Amino acid sequence: MPKNPLINIDIQRKKGNFNFSAQIQTNGGLTAFFGRSGSGKTSLINMIAGLDTPDEGMIIIDDQVLFDSKHKINIAPEQRKIGYIFQDGRLFPHLNVRSNLLYARRFLSVPLKHEKFVAIVDLLGLEQMLDRRPTTLSGGEQQRVAIGRALLADPRLLLMDEPLASLDSARKAEVLPFIENLRDQLKTPILYVSHAIDEVIRLADTMVLLDKGNTIAQGEVEDLMSRLDLRPFTGRYEAGAILSVNITAHDSKYGLTELSFTGHKLLIPHINFPIGSHLRMRILARDVSLSKLKPTKTSILNVFDAVITEISHDSVSQCEVILDIGTPLIARITYKSVIDLDLKVGSKVFAQVKAAAIDRRTLGLGSTRISSII
C-alpha cells in the first residue's frame, strides 16, 4: 500500500555565514547521514530532535508534524518521542544504570512492562551492570546503556550521533553488533550520523550524503557508493563497490567461502559465518583488473563478464571504470591500459577480482530489508 515516507524533512537554516538546507525522505530501517565534520550532520539531527530550531521548513515523522514554520508548529523535544544517542553517552552521573534506564518511565503514556525492560536489558547485555554507576563503565558499556535508556522511552525514531566515534576500535567492535541487533530486531527506524564510511557500509540500508550544510544525494548505500560523481563527497576513501551477498558454501579443502550475488559466484578466503547469511562487502577498485580476452590459466579465481558503463579520468595516469556485472563494480586501472585496450563505454570486458582482495573491515551482516531484495 502506498504510504507517505516515514521521515519527511525539508528545512533551511542560516547560522552566521553557514547556510544549512536539507531535503530528506526516507523510510524505516537504518539511514546513515554521512559527511565530513562540519557538513551539518549534528545540526540536522538536533533539529529533528527539537534541540535546535530551523529557520524555515517542516519536519514530519510518521505523519505527525513536529515542525512547520508556515503554521508556527514547533513541538517541544520532550513531546517528540524521538530517542537520541549522543556521541558522549550523557548518562546521568547521579543515577545508577538501572535508574538511568528507567529515567523515562514516569513520562510514558503507557506504563512500562517489566518484560520490556528485561528484553531490552537482555538485548544490550546490561544485566551485570544494573547497580553500577555510569562513571565505572567503559565507553562501550556507557553507549549500550544510553541506547537502552533511549529505547525504554518508547521512541518512534532513534537518532544516533556518531555513537562509536569516541570509542577505540576494540570498543567499537563490541558495540557494533548491538546496533546491528537493534536494526534487525526492532521496528524503530534509526537515523545514524557518521563520518566513517566503514560503519555506514556495514550498518546502513540507505544513506544521505551531506556536504557544507546541503544534502547532496540520498539513496541505497550500494548505488551511492558506486557513483563516480559522488566520489568528492564520499571522501578521500578508496573507491570500491558494495556488494550484497549470500554465503552459499564453505570449501574446507582449500579454506574458501563461496558467496553468491545477482547470479554470480565469488570465492574468498574462509569467513566464519553460517551458510545462508547475508553479508555486505566492499571490493576496492584497485583489486579489480580488466581483460579484453577471457583469462585462462590465471591465478585469479573470480572472473566476471562485464560491460563498461562509465569511465572517469580523474588523475593524469589513473582511471576509474564502472562496470555492470548485474550490479556495479569499480575498477581502477591506468590511463595507458584504457587506451591500449581501447576501452569505451559499452565495451565488453572481463573483470578479475582477487580472492584475497575482500575488504574485511566492512564485512557486516546485511540487514534483512536489503537481503530480501536479493
The set of cell numbers assigned to 5 is: 515516507
Closer of 126 and 197 to another protein (Cβ): 126
End-to-end CA distance of the chain: 21
Q: Are 366 and 273 in contact (CB under 8 A)?
A: no
From the list 108, 249, 339, 373, which residue makes contact with another protein (rule: CB under 8 A)? Answer: 108
**Alpha-carbon span 182 to 164, nearest angstrom:** 15
Q: Tell me the closest approach of the beta carbon of residue 90 to another protein, in angstroms.
A: 4
Single out the segment in contact with another protein by CB under 8 A; choices: 88-96, 332-340, 346-354, 361-369: 88-96
278 binding another protein? (CB under 8 A): no
Site for another protein in 21-80 (CB under 8 A): 49-51, 76-80
Site for another protein in 141-200 (CB under 8 A): 149-150, 153
Q: Tell me the closest approach of the beta carbon of residue 345 to another protein, in angstroms.
A: 49
Site string for another protein, 109-138 (x = CB under 8 A): ------------------------x-x---
From the list 10, 90, 165, 235, which residue makes contact with another protein (rule: CB under 8 A)? Answer: 90
**Alpha-carbon span 271 to 281, nearest angstrom:** 12
From the list 20, 39, 47, 81, which residue makes contact with another protein (rule: CB under 8 A)? Answer: 81
Closer of 88 and 220 to another protein (Cβ): 88
Closer of 149 and 282 to another protein (Cβ): 149
Q: Tell me the closest approach of the beta carbon of residue 107 to another protein, in angstroms.
A: 3
**Alpha-carbon span 322 to 70, nearest angstrom:** 44
DSSP H/E element including 331: strand 328-334
Single out the segment in contact with another protein by CB under 8 A; choices: 62-70, 84-92, 209-217, 321-329: 84-92
Residue 250, Cα to own-chain centre: how many angstroms?
A: 27
**Alpha-carbon span 63 to 145, nearest angstrom:** 30
Q: Tell me the closest approach of the beta carbon of residue 88 to another protein, in angstroms.
A: 7
Q: Tell me the closest approach of the beta carbon of residue 236 to another protein, in angstroms.
A: 31
13 binding another protein? (CB under 8 A): no
**Alpha-carbon span 69 to 63, nearest angstrom:** 16
Q: Tell me the closest approach of the beta carbon of residue 111 to another protein, in angstroms.
A: 14
Q: Tell me the closest approach of the beta carbon of residue 145 to another protein, in angstroms.
A: 12
For 209-240, the DSSP string reads EEETTEEEEEEEHHHHHT-GGGHHHH-SSPPE
Q: Are 35 and 227 in contact (CB under 8 A)?
A: no
**Alpha-carbon span 13 to 34, nearest angstrom:** 19
97 binding another protein? (CB under 8 A): no
Reduce the DSSP state of residue 347 to 3 states and report it: coil
Reduce the DSSP state of residue 316 to 3 states and report it: coil
Phi-psi region of 3 (alpha: psi -120 to 50; beta: other; left: phi over 0): beta
**Alpha-carbon span 199 to 176, nearest angstrom:** 8
104 binding another protein? (CB under 8 A): yes
For residue 247, the cross-strand partners are 259
Q: Which residues bind another protein (CB under 8 A)?
A: 49-51, 76-84, 86, 88, 90, 92-94, 103-104, 107-108, 133, 135, 149-150, 153
